[in-house]
Structure 1
């Protein structure tokens, strides 16, 4: 009996000391870092920098080469890759040019280390002070695991460009990007649950409409990742037509429809363009439902995000994949994920009191 009383008092003390709003703010900071790494990842891909660092050194790799000999060793390792042998070598790449692509991949990896470090330290700080609300520690652990998984997938992706091809596998690139965006969604949802907890609300549930919106958006993001990995954005620079017609010529059907959808740049680009309007339709329905539920600001955020994303997508194609526009398109894609998660969370508000 005494043990039960002590346990109850311990739970009460933890609930009293919990700081859900402070923890939520930190999670949103980490979410912003994830959005930033998505943008840097876009720069890395578009500048063909992804395989410039040929080794995965989680700790020592945070320090870039400092001497001429170290730079030369890194360059010599890169010169063994298919990308250098088949493309950059014949083009006359110099050590100075190599340093440029090395910089973007190094920044990308450094930011990834920072995300993991901040999330671990924040969890440890709040955990040791017993300021994490009950039930949230496993979720924070899962988010930390996702960040670690993201790093492993990133190296798995880079390996495909070091050994097999002049570019990384578009499937591995898709896995890398989608894991990052899934982590972003998890961070935002958990932060919103903590904010609801501070208000005395129950954890929000995922409704059918919320799941549908996240599902159609997830498919569009997957298609976008395939377009990026296949360099499919370059196959047409006109819009809404492709090469002057509705359906493009040049689709290779020889290995079947599934292979064409997932591996032919013409068809993947075409489907990515038109699935976007399915996403828009579902998000418009979500935004209207949110407005009726009294969450007009969330609906405005969703409309702003998908409207900007569509315009950026069109501008990126018509510009011939200009670097700035393409990176902005990828960044706003991450912001659209955050806005859609916010909308799905708002739709799932429970009218009754808090639970757990």
Structure 2
């Protein structure tokens, strides 16, 4: 049933009967569809009243009514509450822009780690900590606090106040950036929810991302504290540095936050594009419903997970400074793989029966951790290459944009392998190490976008696009389609 029949059909008497129009399950006895605050049945009576007087006016009102349905994001009054189907494109642009800030703070966090600045601020002040020391007395007081930390006493007792200011500002700017992300994300999120520009579907995800963003700040201090507490350092038999477990948790939360923003924003833009061109959307739906696309979709999710875990293994390498050993490739020293005694060193076990020997070496032995990262890195390259070949073989079975993205993914994974090898060979210089971390996030981004492009549409969205596509086929130049196409611009 088309939108025109929805508005003009004589079978509507106070309820919306058709389940094929906007939402399945709306039938007799369920509250009516609302258009601009009016019950559709009232609109129907008004249209029938003038039907015999002016056919042109009827079509005009029908166009306005059908446009209003989409402009209101297919609002339905189910259970007395209006439900918004589509989010505004401004929500998507905000999410994508904020994800860029997350990308930046991940790189800045890596630089903070590489310059060994992360333990320079020994207190967590979420609000007042945004203001740095200004006077000489304030700087000296802050320096005295740092002097009580294990890092100063064991590693940095030679630095003066000027040296301290550099590492302080690196960590302070990292924390300030995090506070800025919080403000840029939370305040607009409230606005979009109140103004009804974001659908309930998007709002649920945005709420989850808000919680993750708040948790990320807590995880950050939890990570820093592991390098300030001497008892924890003694338990790990470690120099003053943060726990590799907590560092990787902090990195992983940032990656998940970034993925949630990109995924949600991209899908909002995609749905708006489908509204603008329903005929093309139906062609894409047909591709996504096919068997080859289904297989590639599963492979894309696996590659996405693989790139994530490879990046997390890089976090373990960074946490243990494992890149500073075995600075050769493809061999590790004179051998392809270090000997078993070095890979499974009994000194890393903490139980008397050595039952934790395997997993502690896998996660705490720098040699083993570097080997695992090398294996995962090479495997990620082969996984992306295999996905690229699969897509090349079935290029007509997936959307054109997905084909373009998998080519970009292949280029990025090749660059990332080159950066990783160079970082190892040149013993982790800061510019190369930062570029390698940025490359990991860029590869992860391409994996997210590729997987998102292969995602099937939500059922309510598919129903709306199907209605518009039917109208485009029956009346290509109708005013209804011209009006609705404007809504996605």
Q: In 2, Cα distance between the equivalents of 1:177 and 1:289?
A: 31
- Secondary structure in 1 aligned to 2:123? coil
Question: 1:124 and 2:190 equivalent?
Answer: yes
Alignment of 1:12-161 (within 5 A): 12=69, 14-15=72-73, 20-89=88-157, 92-161=158-227
Q: In 1, Cα distance between the equivalents of 2:213 and 2:34?
A: 33
Match of 1:247 in 2: 337
1:225-268: CA deviations, max 9, x gaps?
Answer: 11000000001111111112111253343121211111100011
List runs of 5+ in structure 1 lacking aligned partners: none
Question: Structure 2-normalised TM-score?
Answer: 0.68
Q: In 1, Cα distance between the equivalents of 2:212 and 2:304?
A: 18
Of the candidates 338, 341, 344, which is equivalent to residue 445 of structure 2? 338
Give the 3 Å change call, closer, same or farther, for CA 332–118 of structure 1 in structure 2: same
1:277-311: CA deviations, max 9, x gaps?
Answer: 21112212333444512322211221122111111
- Alpha-carbon RMSD: 2.6
Q: CA deviation at 1:347?
A: 2.3
List runs of 5+ in structure 2 lacking aligned partners: 1-13, 16-29, 38-67, 75-83, 234-239, 275-280, 289-293, 350-356, 464-489
Give the 3 Å change call, closer, same or farther, for CA 133–175 of structure 1 in structure 2: same
Q: In 2, Cα distance between the equivalents of 1:288 and 1:342?
A: 18
1:104-145: CA deviations, max 9, x gaps?
Answer: 111111111111111112212222322113411111111111
Q: CA deviation at 1:14?
A: 3.7
Structure of higher CA gyration radius: 2
Match of 2:416 in 1: 309
Match of 1:224 in 2: 314
Question: 1:321 and 2:428 equivalent?
Answer: yes
Match of 2:328 in 1: 238
Instruction: Count the aligned residue pairs.
Output: 354
Match of 1:175 in 2: 249
C-alpha contact (below 8 Å) 1:290/1:346 kept by paired residues:
no
Question: Structure 1-normalised TM-score?
Answer: 0.92
Give the 3 Å change call, closer, same or farther, for CA 351–82 of structure 1 in structure 2: closer
C-alpha contact (below 8 Å) 1:290/1:343 kept by paired residues:
no
Match of 1:185 in 2: 259
C-alpha contact (below 8 Å) 1:286/1:343 kept by paired residues:
no
Q: CA deviation at 1:69?
A: 1.2
Moved more, 331-340 or 171-180: 331-340
Q: In 1, Cα distance between the equivalents of 2:174 and 2:109?
A: 6
Give the 3 Å change call, closer, same or farther, for CA 9–288 of structure 1 in structure 2: farther
Moved more, 197-206 or 279-288: 197-206
Runs of 4+ residues deviating >4 angstroms: 6-13, 16-19, 201-206, 350-353
Q: CA deviation at 1:352?
A: 7.6
- Secondary structure in 2 aligned to 1:15? coil
1:314-356: CA deviations, max 9, x gaps?
Answer: 1111111000000111111111111111111122245987259
Give the 3 Å change call, closer, same or farther, for CA 253–118 of structure 1 in structure 2: same
Question: 1:296 and 2:388 equivalent?
Answer: no
- Secondary structure in 2 aligned to 1:162? coil
Question: Relative CO higher for 1 or 2, CA cutoff 8 Å, sep ≥ 6?
Answer: 1
Moved more, 228-237 or 301-310: 301-310
Give the 3 Å change call, closer, same or farther, for CA 72–137 of structure 1 in structure 2: same
